[in-house]
Amino acid sequence: MPRFALLEHDWPARHWDLLLEDGDVLRAWRLLAEPDPGKTVPAEANADHRLLYLDYEGPVSGNRGSVTCWDGGTYSGTLDTGDGWEVRLSGSRFRGIARLTHAGGGWVVVFS
């Protein structure tokens, strides 16, 4: 089963990185607010990340701050909805659906 990580990142401003394992890379989105059930969070697509970030905490290369694990686990049910994806996250802190949707030139993630 593929894995996910939600990392709290302190650079350039506090945000959370949602990382979804996809083969040999992590698909990545920068979440502009803390992920919570019932919350819609503005997001930005980010460059693919290396798999090592599934288990990493500490400084980020290039003097780009540091990350700490906010949550992690496995995900299932990747569903292409035509304008985004829907996945079921099974983490230690969050268990539920995350819907990633295009919105006004950007992204939003709805956690339920």
**Can you give the residue range of the structural domain that contains 64?**
3-111
Residue 79 has pLDDT above 70, yes or no: no
What's the structural domain count of the chain? 1
| pLDDT tens by residue, 7-45 | 999 999 999 999 999 999 999 999 999 998 899 999 999
Q: Does the reported pTM lie above 0.85?
A: yes
48 pLDDT above the threshold of 80: yes
Instruction: For the chain, give the DSSP string.
Output: --EEEEEEE-SSSSEEEEEEEETTEEEEEEESS---TT-EEEEEEEEEE-GGGGS--EEPGGG--EEEEEEEEEEEEEEE-SSEEEEEEEESS-EEEEEEEEETTEEEEEE-
